[in-house]
């Protein structure tokens, strides 16, 4: 989308402010949505009805889907699970009159790289029975947090990087711990020193905090319409459950809690209960 800058030497009543407002609005709308990348672990963006109509209610694979106003249309912003097979898919939209319509799209294939890590703490690879019982309880709490839906819609979905550091592990890696296969990497790791401040990438509400076997000290933020962020391995949690935080507000500090090989922040982004690549929400696609 092109952006035009117009200089007006003389004010012309309210017309000057109207023109400037339109220009600013065009820039804001150009930055509103994440990058589309319709692969497993990516995002599909599908134009729906004109935004002069009421927003439709959209579902995909049994999950409610984010719908945003953009470029004169309602757009479905669909998180695609890492386990999703490439090929044809569709979302179903229901309008204000109760009529439904299917919107087809195609998921492209993507091969993620392999990562092999060695952990000195063998319990992090082969948990005890007591550990497994704890992990099961914690997984239910984590899944509940990822399932939260609120109607709030932020004006922009462009995220800040939550900590100043370098990405040490990218999204989607097929992981092996001590040569044992484990779940693919569901976020990105950002290497940073212990105590480095972790900030909210977007405004949101703190829906859960806790200390978990694998994830260590953790904060969950709800950004609205099924968009949830999770921050793991903290040394300190700086917010309380139920708090409202602004974009850039400190929520914790980098640590080495949980299953780690060194100090870093693990940042997960979940959209319609599907873990997706956080890089798609950053201002520039890296």
Residues 62-81: tens digit of each pLDDT: 999 999 999 999 999 999 99
User: How many percent of the chain have pLDDT more than 90?
Assistant: 70
- Is the pLDDT at 212 greater than 90? The verdict is yes
Query: Most confidently modeled of 28-32, 137-141, 256-260?
Result: 137-141
CA-based R_g, the chain, Å: 21
Confidence of residue 23 (pLDDT cuts 50, 70, 90): very low
- Is the pLDDT at 22 greater than 80? The verdict is no
Q: For 42-58, what is the mean pLDDT?
A: 96
Q: Rounded to whole angstroms, how far apart are CA atoms 117 and 22?
A: 51
Helix (H, G, I), strand (E, B) or coil at 137: helix
Q: If we measure between CA atoms, which residue out of 191, 184, 189 comes closest to residue 170?
A: 189
Report the range of poorest mean pLDDT among 19-23, 51-55, 133-137, 190-194: 19-23
Report whether 188 contacts 173 (CB < 8 A).
Answer: no
Confidence of residue 27 (pLDDT cuts 50, 70, 90): very low
Q: For 252-260, what is the mean pLDDT?
A: 92
Q: What is the mean pLDDT of the chain?
A: 85
- Is the pLDDT at 17 greater than 60? The verdict is no
Q: Rounded to whole angstroms, how far apart are CA atoms 183 and 175?
A: 7
- Is the pLDDT at 207 greater than 70? The verdict is yes
**Per-residue confidence (pLDDT) for residue 178, from 0 to 100:** 56
**Per-residue confidence (pLDDT) for residue 125, from 0 to 100:** 65
**Per-residue confidence (pLDDT) for residue 80, from 0 to 100:** 98
How many Å is the maximal CA-CA distance in the chain?
Answer: 76
Q: Between 44 and 128, whose confidence is greater?
A: 44
Q: Rounded to whole angstroms, how far apart are CA atoms 217 and 6?
A: 50
Q: For 177-201, what is the mean pLDDT?
A: 84
Q: What pTM, to 2 d.p., does this model score?
A: 0.84
């Amino acid at each position: 989308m092109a952006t035009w800058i117009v200089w007006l030497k003389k004010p012309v009543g309210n017309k000057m402010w109207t023109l400037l407002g339109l220009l600013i609005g065009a820039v804001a709308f150009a930055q509103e949505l994440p990058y589309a990348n319709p692969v497993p672990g990516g995002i599909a963006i599908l134009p729906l009805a004109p935004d002069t109509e009421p927003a439709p209610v959209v579902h995909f694979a049994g999950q409610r889907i984010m719908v945003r106003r953009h470029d004169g249309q309602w757009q479905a912003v669909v998180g695609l699970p890492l386990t999703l097979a490439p090929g044809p898919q569709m979302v179903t939209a229901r309008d204000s009159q109760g009529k439904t319509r299917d919107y087809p799209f195609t998921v492209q294939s993507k091969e993620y790289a392999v990562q092999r890590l060695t952990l000195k703490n063998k319990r992090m690879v082969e948990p005890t029975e007591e550990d497994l019982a704890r992990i099961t309880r914690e997984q239910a709490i984590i899944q509940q947090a990822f399932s939260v839906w609120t109607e709030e819609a932020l004006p922009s979905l462009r995220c800040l990087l939550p900590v100043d550091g370098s990405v040490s592990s990218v999204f989607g890696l097929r992981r092996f711990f001590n040569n044992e296969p484990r779940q693919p990497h569901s976020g990105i790791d950002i290497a940073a020193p212990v105590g480095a401040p972790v900030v909210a990438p977007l405004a949101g509400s703190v829906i859960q905090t806790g200390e978990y076997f694998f994830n260590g000290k953790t904060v969950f933020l709800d950004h609205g319409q099924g968009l949830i962020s999770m921050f793991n391995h903290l040394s300190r949690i700086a917010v309380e459950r139920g708090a409202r935080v602004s974009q850039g507000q400190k929520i914790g500090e980098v640590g080495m809690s949980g299953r780690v090989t060194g100090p870093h922040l693990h940042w997960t982004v979940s959209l319609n209960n599907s873990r997706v690549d956080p890089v798609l929400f950053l201002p520039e696609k890296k």
